[in-house]
Amino acid sequence: MAKQRGKSQYAFFESSMKMNLIRSMTLENSLRSAIKNEEFYLHYQPQIDVRTGLIRGFEALIRWEHPQLGKISPLEFIHIAESTGLIVPIGAWVMETACKKMVDLNRVTGSNMIISVNISPVQISNEQFPAMVEETLKRSGLSPNLLELEITENLFINSFEVAIKIFDRLKAIGIKMSLDDFGTGYSSLAYLKNLPIDTLKIDQAFTRDLLIHKSNEHLMESIILMAHTLEMDVIVEGVEELEQFDRLKTYQCDHVQGYYFSRPMDTNQLEDYFIKMK
């Protein structure tokens, strides 16, 4: 009996593994033509300046509508794009689209909002990356100081020296660098102290736990203080409740981002959002 169940469980695992494999192979294949077929689009989520209540900028978040499988989360397809190298053209498409959108938005609203673009370690390690950034800025007409690149600590796993070189080349262009998902990775003070990082994005896991236990409050307050000591701006991610926002204000947090203010929006929703604000 036990033996039989063991066998059928094995068969089940085997078939679900097979299904996963088939799905990722299907996605990999479809990814190759997804740009050409215009299956990608961007969502934009506002980042709010805590002191003024104004919009500091937007984070661009990629979306994929697969013709048969429907919406695929970036959490599922980005790593496939990374392992195949497809992230290079996909990432270039994201940056171009996001920069152009920001130029439009700033013109229409008469403002100087920042666009934050997520960058994969695979992309940034590509020799051509800084040149691609410069060309994109030129083509879109976006001023370099309005472009912010969000990178994660994974970039530093391989070589800190290489990371410093890349950072220096990018900073020379005049753009901003931001460390995303802070607190989930290898967070080392050495990275923070020795890299020209402008903005620290505190991961939403810290926000989720903020009001649950006193020690989380101290932790959040300490991270913000540390960032300010290192002359970095702080964005806290994943703010979903007024109470979290109120608490963050008392910690001198600079910017907030989260569902409490707005979900990521498509371009139509973005238009409505600005009309409502007027």
Positions touching Mg ion (CB under 5 A) are: 118, 150, 180-181
Q: Which is nearer to ligand C2E, 259 or 274 (CB)?
A: 259
Question: What is the Cα–Cα distance from 7 to 144, expressed in whole angstroms?
Answer: 60
Helix 87-109 with 129-140: angle, nearest 10 deg: 30
Q: Min. distance of Cβ 40 from ligand C2E in angstroms?
A: 9
236 binds, among Mg ion, ligand C2E, none (CB under 5 to 8 A by kind): none
Written as six digits, the tokens of 126 are 């590509």
Phi first, then psi: what are they for 232, rounded to 5°?
A: -110, 150
Tell me how far, at minimum, the Cβ of 181 lies from ligand C2E, in Å: 5
* Distance separating alpha carbons of residues 10 and 66, to the nearest angstrom: 31
Which residue type sits at 56?
A: R
Q: Which is nearer to Mg ion, 118 or 199 (CB)?
A: 118
Task: Give the C-alpha separation, 1 to 7, whole Å.
Answer: 10
Interface contacts to ligand C2E, rule CB under 6 A: 45, 61-62, 73-75, 78, 91, 94, 118-120, 150, 180-181, 204, 238-240, 258-259, 264
Output 57 or 91, the one with its CB closest to ligand C2E: 91
CB of 237 to ligand C2E, least distance (A): 6
C-beta of 154: minimal distance to ligand C2E in Å? 10
Closest approach, Cβ 2 to ligand C2E, in A, equals 42
State residue 39 phi and psi, 5-degree precision. Answer: -95, -10
Gap between the Cα atoms of 236 and 128, Å rounded: 31
Of 82 and 135, nearer to ligand C2E (C-beta) is 82
46 binds, among ligand C2E, Mg ion, none (CB under 5 to 8 A by kind): none
Amino acid identity for residue 101 in this structure:
K
75 binds, among Mg ion, ligand C2E, none (CB under 5 to 8 A by kind): ligand C2E
Please name the residues in contact with 113: beta carbons below 8 A apart, sequence gap of 6 or more. 55, 56, 57, 58, 102, 105, 106, 146
Residue 140 touches which member of ligand C2E, Mg ion, none, C-beta under 5-8 Å by kind: none
Specify the residue for token string 């300490």.
Answer: 222
Nearest to ligand C2E of 180, 254 (CB atom): 180
183 binds, among Mg ion, ligand C2E, none (CB under 5 to 8 A by kind): none
- Give least dist CB 84 to ligand C2E, A: 13
Q: Which residue is nearest to ligand C2E (CB)?
A: 258
Task: Give the residue with the Cβ less far from ligand C2E, 8 or 179.
Answer: 179
- Please, which residue, 98 or 146, has the CB nearer to ligand C2E? 98
Tokens of 64: 């994929």
CB of 267 to ligand C2E, least distance (A): 15
94 contact choice in ligand C2E, Mg ion, none (CB below 5 to 8 Å, kind-dependent): ligand C2E
Please give, one letter per residue, the 3-state secondary structure of 4-66: HHHHHHHHHHHHHHHHHHHHHHHHHHHHHHHCCCCCEEEEEEEEEECCCCCEEEEEEEEEEEE
Point out which residues pair with 60 in neighbouring strands: 44, 117
